[in-house]
């Protein structure tokens, strides 16, 4: 079975991304059935990663990732074990979050040729699109395969409740729109992950 890692990139508490993360978890069975994949949920905050301070980048470090601290090694192994990545990324100051970028600095050749797609989000009107664009050179240097049809969610605080449900105050057509867009995004990364597996 193809596995797609769903990664919550925010380490803030509370995090607006947590609402989206919980929505995906709530609907895991339906999304997996529609996409014919297994979804594995990872939070960067669970790994408590220190700033990457190794003398060499992962690609040039002997015995990588065995020389890393246990939590960092577990992060690298968990991400590398997936066939695809769905990255939930907020936008901080028109770019990517520092803690999430640091987490990606730990990744080496284990993610080469892995397809990756973003769902970016913000509490403003741009939906994190600048973060989504800022990730592209990072994906390229890690030899990740950036797939098309990224999803940008604007005013995320109005879309989901704190418990990861679609906001009941939304019109029925809006709820259907977001549910369909998220399902299509999962199906898209699932399709690429299966084909490139």
Low-confidence ranges of the chain (pLDDT < 70): none
Residue 147 belongs to domain with CATH number: 3.40.50.360
Compute the distance between CA of residue 61 and CA of residue 36 in angstroms, rounded to an integer. 36
The count of residues in the chain is 197
Q: Give the structural domain span for 53.
A: 3-196
Q: Does the model's pTM come out above 0.75?
A: yes
Rounded to an integer, what distance in angstroms lies between the CA atom of residue 31 and that of residue 38? 9
pLDDT given at position 56: 86
**Structural domain tally of the chain?**
1
Between the CA of residue 86 and those of 60, 69, 83, 179, what are the distances in Å? 26, 25, 10, 16
What confidence score (pLDDT) does residue 21 get?
98
**Predicted pLDDT at 54:** 86
The runs of H, that is alpha helices, within the chain are: 16-26, 28-35, 70-80, 98-105, 129-141, 172-196
**The pLDDT of residue 166:** 98
Interval 66-124: pLDDT, tens: 889 999 999 999 999 999 999 999 999 999 999 999 999 999 888 999 999 999 999 99
The predicted pLDDT at position 109 comes to 86
> How many Å separate Cα 21 from the centre of its chain?
9
């Amino acid at each position: 079975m193809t596995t797609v890692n769903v990664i919550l990139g925010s380490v803030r508490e509370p995090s607006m991304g947590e609402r989206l993360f919980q929505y995906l978890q709530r609907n895991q069975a339906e999304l997996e059935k529609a996409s014919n994949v297994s979804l594995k949920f990872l939070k960067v905050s669970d790994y408590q990663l220190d700033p990457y301070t190794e003398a060499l980048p992962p690609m040039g470090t002997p015995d990588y990732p065995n020389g890393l601290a246990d939590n960092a090694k577990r992060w690298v192994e968990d991400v590398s074990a997936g066939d695809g990545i769905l990255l939930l990324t907020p936008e901080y100051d028109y770019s990517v979050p520092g803690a999430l970028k640091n987490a990606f600095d730990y990744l080496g050749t284990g993610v080469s040729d892995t397809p990756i797609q973003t769902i970016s989000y913000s509490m403003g009107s741009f939906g994190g699109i600048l973060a989504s664009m800022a990730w592209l050179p990072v994906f390229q240097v890690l030899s990740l395969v950036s797939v098309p049809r990224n999803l940008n969610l604007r005013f995320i605080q109005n879309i989901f409740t704190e418990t990861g449900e679609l906001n009941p105050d939304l019109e029925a057509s809006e709820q259907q729109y977001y549910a369909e867009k998220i399902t299509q995004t999962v199906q898209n990364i699932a399709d690429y992950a299966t084909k490139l597996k």
